[in-house]
Amino acid sequence: MAEHRTMQRRALLDAARALLSEGGTEALTFPALAERTGLARSSVYEYFRSRAAVVEELCAVDLPVWAAEVEAAMENADTPQAKIEAYVRTQLSLVGDRRHRAVVAISAGELDAGAREKIRAAHGGLIAMVVAALSDLGHAEPRLVAMLLQGTVDAAVRRIELAAAEHPDRIIEAAVAMALHGVSP
């Protein structure tokens, strides 16, 4: 019985990811979750009390996986500059991933304080990963620079998600160049 409930919960989270990546937060409704999974709407409420609860669980499950991918890429880099490049490039390469697209949709939506705090904590974890590399480069305020760097990454994510005029590879290269060289041409 417990295994069956775990499978249904996983199916609901998969459906939530798909709905978020296809239609944003407006698409994440309990009727849509029920339809995608073949469960009765009342059954969805047995697993999650609200949309915010679905979002919180997605954050708890997906953000650590995403952060681990960024961390692994940074660990494989051998210089501070290469670590910063891996930090930027890995996050932006995940934009097409359904987990990431769901997180972006979630971040853009109206969330309760608990879900917002989970996203903030996950972003804080990402930022903490790059602080050491920035310290190694000699930045006087590595945490501040890390937050500004994450702002560049977030702006590039939005640009890619909007299907901007530039090809995603050009956006990634511009974000990496900005991270490594600032606005110098």
Per-residue confidence band for 63, with pLDDT thresholds at 50, 70 and 90: confident
Average pLDDT across the chain, whole number: 85
Q: How far is CA 6 from CA 2, 12, 36, 47, 49, in A?
A: 6, 10, 17, 10, 16
Q: How far is CA 63 from CA 1, 75, 99, in A?
A: 28, 18, 8
The string of pLDDT tens digits covering residues 7-37 is: 899 999 999 988 887 877 788 899 999 999 9
* pLDDT mean over 60-77: 89
Do 66 and 100 meet the contact criterion of CB atoms below 8 Å apart? yes
pTM of the model: 0.76
Q: Is the pLDDT of residue 47 over 70?
A: yes
Determine the pLDDT at residue 146.
Answer: 93
Fill in the amino acid letter for 58.
L
Q: How far is CA 123 from CA 80, 112, 170, in A?
A: 20, 17, 24
Lowest mean pLDDT among 41-45, 102-106, 107-111, 142-146: 107-111
One-character DSSP codes across 90-144: HHHHTTTSHHHHHHHHHHHS---HHHHHHHHHHHHHHHHHHHHHHHHTT-SSHHH
How far apart, in whole angstroms, are the C-alpha atoms of residue 106 and residue 115?
Answer: 9
